Amino acid sequence: MRYFIGFFVTLLLAACANSGVVSIGPDTYMIANSEWGFTSGGIQKAKVMKQASNYCKSIGKEILPISTKQNGVSWGKIPAAEVEFRCLSEDDPELRRPLLQPVPSVVIENRIQ
């Protein structure tokens, strides 16, 4: 019984993953999070957005989201979300209202020769 409980706790811990803040360029970062259980992709997205905002505030800057991705609960998928963002000074001209657009999973190019 003790081994079963230990295995179950290990399985639960392995089902949660958070990348933490990862630098992907000058003043540009990303965070990814997934969590197994009774949750949704929207909740995961809110968690990573809050973590991103807190990170920018901790270094005295404002957050500018660049893109977000999420997937909800479905058979064989764990609810997950990812956000790419910049931390900019209040007086930075790039700091503006974010225009978040969904990232397409397929891009069709029409090349005329």
pTM (2 d.p.) = 0.70
pLDDT band at 3 (very low <50, low <70, confident <90, very high): low
Point out which residues pair with 23 in neighbouring strands: 29
Percent of the chain with pLDDT over 70: 81
